[in-house]
Amino acid sequence: MEQQLEKNAFLGREPVGRLLARLAVPTVTAQIINMLYNIVDRIYIGHIPEEGALALTGVGVCMPLIMIVSAFAALVSNGGAPRASIAMGRKDNQSAEEILGSCFLLQILVSLALTAALLLGGRPFLLAFGATPETIGYAVDYMNLYAMGTLFVQLTLGMNAFITAQGFAKTGMLSVLIGAVCNIVLDPIFIFGFGMGVEGAALATVLSQAVSCVWVVTFLMGRRTILRLKPQNLRLRWRHLGPSLALGLATFIMQASESVISVCFNSSLRTYGGNTAVGAMTILTSVMQFAMLPLQGLGQGAQPIISYNYGARSAKRVKDTYFLLLRVSMFYSTLLWALVMLFPRAFASIFTPNAELVAFTGQALRIYMAVMCLFGIQMACQMTFTALGNAKSSITVAVMRKFILLIPLIYLLPNLLPGLIGIDQTTAVYLAEPVADAIAVTFTAILFYFQFRRALRNI
DSSP secondary structure of 343-382: -HHHHHTTT---HHHHHHHHHHHHHHTTTGGGHHHHHHHH
Give the amino acid at 261.
Answer: I
Percentage of the chain beyond pLDDT 90 is: 25
Q: Is the pLDDT of residue 380 over 80?
A: yes
More confidently predicted of 455 and 45: 455
Contact status, residue 60 vs residue 282, Cβ threshold 8 Å: yes
Contact status, residue 381 vs residue 329, Cβ threshold 8 Å: no
Q: Per-residue b/e over 57-71, b at no fewer than 16 CB within 10 Å?
A: bbbbbbbbbbbbbbb
The confidence score (pLDDT) of residue 288 equals 83
Q: How far apart are the first and last CA of the chain?
A: 25
Q: pLDDT digits over 386-410, tens only?
A: 888 887 888 888 788 888 999 999 9
The torsion of the CA quartet 103, 227, 302, 388, rounded to 10 degrees, works out to 60
How much is the pTM?
A: 0.71
The mean per-residue pLDDT over the stretch 220-248 comes to 88
CA distance 136 to 446: 44
Q: Is 395 exposed, middle or buried (0-12, 13-18, 19+ CB in 10 A)?
A: buried
The confidence score (pLDDT) of residue 8 equals 53
The mean per-residue pLDDT over the stretch 134-161 comes to 86
The confidence score (pLDDT) of residue 303 equals 84
Q: Which of 113, 114, 138 is nearest to 126 (CA)?
A: 138
Q: H or E element: which one contains 30?
A: helix 16-46
The mean per-residue pLDDT over the stretch 111-131 comes to 84
More confidently predicted of 59 and 373: 373
Contact status, residue 393 vs residue 456, Cβ threshold 8 Å: no
Q: pLDDT digits over 268-290, tens only?
A: 888 888 778 877 887 888 788 77
CA distance 361 to 215: 38
- Quote helix, strand, coil % in the chain, to nearest 5: 85, 0, 15
Alpha helices in 189-237 (DSSP H): 198-220
Q: pLDDT digits over 68-102, tens only?
A: 888 888 888 888 888 888 888 888 888 989 999 99
Q: Is the pLDDT of residue 328 over 70?
A: yes
Q: pLDDT digits over 184-197, tens only?
A: 889 889 888 888 88
The confidence score (pLDDT) of residue 34 equals 67
Least confident stretch, 27-41, 52-66, 274-288: 27-41
Write down the mean pLDDT value for the chain: 85
CA distance 235 to 252: 22
Q: Sorting pLDDT into bands at 50, 70 and 90, what band is 338?
A: very high
The mean per-residue pLDDT over the stretch 419-426 comes to 80
The confidence score (pLDDT) of residue 304 equals 84
Q: Is the pLDDT of residue 292 over 90?
A: no
The confidence score (pLDDT) of residue 1 equals 47
CA distance 237 to 106: 10
CA distance 279 to 361: 9
Alpha helices in 168-197 (DSSP H): 169-188
Q: Radius of gyration of the chain from Cα atoms? A: 21
Q: Sorting pLDDT into bands at 50, 70 and 90, what band is 37?
A: low
Q: H or E element: which one contains 244?
A: helix 238-272
Contact status, residue 426 vs residue 276, Cβ threshold 8 Å: no
Q: Which of 283, 250, 268, 438 is nearest to 359 (CA)?
A: 283
